[in-house]
Structures are given as C-alpha cells and as structure tokens.
C-alpha cells in the first residue's frame, strides 16, 4: 500500500515538473554574482566598501550567491575576472577604473557572461558601465567648504593623479568659486601609482602642511588614504570632507560632510535588474537628479552645518538639476 502511494506521488510530482514552465524552474536557482574589488578592499571605508555593501544587501534581500575577491595589483585583475567567468557566474562586477582593460578582454572571451564595471566604460555588448557625475557632488561640497572658511583658504587632496580625481577637483573648485570667488585653494596629490589609494601617512603629511598654511577645510578623494587626512583634521582641530561612502562617523565633529557617490545603490540595482531579467548593457550615469551623488547629513555632522547653509546647498542642488548652474566637467575639457 505504502509503495503504491509512493509511486503515485512520484508520478504526480514528475508530471508537475514536466508541465512546470522552464523559467519557473530557473527562478529557483540562485544567481551567482562575482565581485572584484579594487586595491584597498572591502574595508577601505570608501569606494570598495560602498560596492561591497550594495552587493551584500543584494545577497540579503534578493537571495543571490555572492563571492568577492580583492585585487592585490593591476596585474591580478584579468585572472580574477577569468576565474569567475570560467565558473559561469551570472554577473561579474569590477570595481574601479583600473579594471577597464581586464573587463574588456575577459568579457570578449566570455560573451555569454554578463559583466558590469564601476567608474569605467566598456562598450562590449555584455557589459554595463556604471558611471557617476562626480563633478556635480563635488560642486556641492565645494560650496559648503567656501561657506565655512574664515581664513579664505580651503584644500583638496587627491589620491592617484588621474582624470577621474581631477574631475572631483574641477567640480570642487567651481563650487568654491561660485560661493566665494576670492577663496584660495591648495591642491595636492598623493602619488601617480595605485599605492596612492592606500598611503594614509602621506595623506596626513599633505593635510598637516595645508592646515599649517591656514586651510580650514580639506576635501579628500583618496580611498583608504582618506584616514590620514581625517587624523590630521582631528589633530589640528580643523575640518575634512570625506568621499564616496558616508564617512562622517569616522571622526565625528571633524568631518564636515561626505561627497556621496552611491556605488552601493548602483551595484544593488544592477543585480536587481539581472534578477528581474531587466539587465541592459551600455552606460548608465548617476547624478544629483537621481541621487547618485549628493552630500551627507546625519547625526555626526548636523551641528556643523547651519539651517541657512543647508537651504543654500539645497538651492544650489536644484539649480544644478534644472541646468541653471553649469558645472564644469574635466572629462569634457580633455576631449
């Protein structure tokens, strides 16, 4: 009797599987996402951390299978992408402009695998490029820096001297000059190699030098090196501005704000689109209009920014979105 019932159940179950739509069966499989982080890793409290947070949120909310690797240098990138592709991962995400060549090459070799790259543009038909209007967000924090200085001096410290980091600087300086044309800007870069992203000692040295010259606020865009500038701000009782992730919490009272670059949202939405069969190759840009970039305001810095200053910033933001303020773009000048 039991055997007969079991055979009957198995027969019905087999028919159920036979008639079940194939895409429904596939939906039960977990998407495999490979995340290739740039040098600095998931704990850099900046760019890589934001990407990792977005992917981790997708793992939690969307039920995907996530595996991440951290690049040791540029030469390791190609192999890291290839290993994911060989294992037929559904989507491989490269974080950082340094991965452009690796993504371009491996995505060509594995045309059936989908790729995404943050801060780089690859035109292969299976690649989505996630790009940001950094100059817009930098304009905002530049305007705020100009509002805060009493000495008429503000600073900028970039990580690796490359066009992307010059783009931050260009927008930042434009925001400063929009509010206070006579404000003086001191500008330094940590280096010309990838080591610049993870050299907090050099960043601190540059920051202390700027503060000693009368600078009151420094905007830093240097990955894990940012911590050196934050240490200098605390030591000199001055202000710093973080970047990419919300870094206000790192040195409460000494970080005026952070120029948010919502890499986390971009990564999450890309994975979500894949899960919902809406993944599209090509370039997608995130700016002030869609909150892809912004400035941060929370319990750690709310006392540093007055209501009047907030209102001015919101007005500036709206004017940029409406096109009343044209923010200069370093990329366009280089063409």
**CA end-to-end distance (rounded Å), the chain:** 80
User: Which pLDDT belongs to residue 23?
Assistant: 44
Hey, what domains does the chain have and what are their CATH numbers?
A: 25-132+264-286 (3.40.50.2300), 134-261+305-334 (3.40.50.2300)
Q: What's the CA gap between 241 and 319, in Å, rounded?
A: 22
Banded pLDDT at 90 (limits 50, 70, 90): very high
* pLDDT tens digits for range 10-67: 444 444 444 444 444 344 579 999 999 998 889 988 889 999 999 999 999 999 999 9
| Average pLDDT estimate for 303-323 | 98
- Residues present in the chain in total: 335
Q: What is the pLDDT of residue 19?
A: 44
Host H or E run for residue 218: strand 217-221
Looking at 12-16, 95-99, 294-298, which range is the least confident one? 12-16
Over residues 121-134, mean pLDDT: 98
What value, to the nearest 5°, has the Cα angle with vertex 310 and ends 174 and 212? Answer: 55
Confidence category of residue 9, pLDDT binned at 50, 70, 90: very low
pLDDT of residue 17: 44
The model's confidence at residue 194, banded by pLDDT at 50, 70 and 90, is confident
What pLDDT does 74 receive?
Answer: 87
- Residue 111 pLDDT level (bands cut at 50, 70, 90): very high
Alpha carbon distance 301, 96 (integer Å):
28
For residue 1, pLDDT over 70 is answered with no
Place of tokens 């939405």: 269
Question: Average pLDDT of the chain?
Answer: 92
pLDDT class of 315 with cuts at 50, 70, 90? very high
Yes or no: say if 296 and 131 are a contact pair by the CB < 8 Å rule.
no
Q: How far apart (Å, rounded) are the C-alpha atoms in residues 147 and 180? A: 8
Count each helix (H run) and each strand (E run) in the chain, helices first.
12, 12
pTM > 0.85? yes
- Residue 43: how many CB atoms within 10 A of its CB? 12
Q: What is the pLDDT of residue 94?
A: 98
Task: Using pLDDT thresholds of 50, 70 and 90, give the confidence band for residue 335.
Answer: low
The whole-number pLDDT of residue 28 equals 53
Listed range (9-13, 110-114, 315-319) with the worst mean pLDDT: 9-13
> How many percent of the chain have pLDDT more than 90?
86
């Amino acid at each position: 009797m039991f055997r007969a019932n079991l055979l009957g159940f198995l027969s019905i179950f087999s028919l159920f599987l036979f008639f079940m739509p194939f895409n429904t069966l596939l939906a039960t499989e977990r998407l495999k996402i490979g995340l290739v982080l740039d040098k600095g890793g998931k704990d850099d409290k900046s760019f890589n951390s934001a990407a990792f947070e977005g992917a981790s949120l997708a793992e939690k909310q969307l039920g995907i299978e996530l595996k991440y690797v951290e690049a040791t240098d540029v030469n390791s990138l190609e192999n890291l992408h290839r290993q994911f592709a060989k294992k037929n991962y559904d989507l491989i995400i490269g974080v950082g402009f340094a991965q452009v060549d690796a993504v371009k090459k491996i995505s060509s070799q594995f045309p059936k695998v989908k790729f995404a790259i943050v801060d780089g543009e690859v035109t292969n038909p299976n690649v989505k490029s996630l790009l940001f209007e950094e100059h817009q967000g930098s304009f905002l924090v530049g305007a705020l820096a100009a509002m805060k200085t009493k000495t008429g001096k503000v600073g900028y410290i970039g990580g690796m001297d490359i066009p992307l980091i010059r783009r931050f600087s260009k927008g930042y300086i434009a925001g400063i000059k929009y509010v206070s044309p006579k404000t003086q800007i001191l500008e330094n870069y940590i280096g010309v190699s990838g080591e610049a992203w993870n050299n907090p000692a050099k960043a601190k040295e540059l920051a202390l030098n700027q503060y000693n010259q009368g600078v009151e606020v420094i905007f830093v865009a240097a990955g894990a090196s940012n911590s050196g500038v934050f240490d200098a701000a605390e030591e000199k009782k001055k202000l710093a501005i973080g970047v990419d992730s919300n870094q206000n919490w790192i040195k409460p009272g000494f970080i005026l704000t952070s120029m948010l670059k919502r890499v986390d949202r971009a990564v999450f939405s890309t994975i979500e689109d894949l899960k919902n069969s809406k993944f599209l190759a090509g370039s997608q840009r995130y700016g002030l209009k869609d909150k892809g970039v912004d400035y941060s305001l929370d319990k750690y810095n709310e006392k540093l920014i007055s209501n009047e200053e907030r209102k001015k910033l919101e007005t500036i933001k709206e004017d940029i979105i409406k096109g009343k303020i044209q923010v200069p773009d370093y990329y366009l000048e280089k063409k």
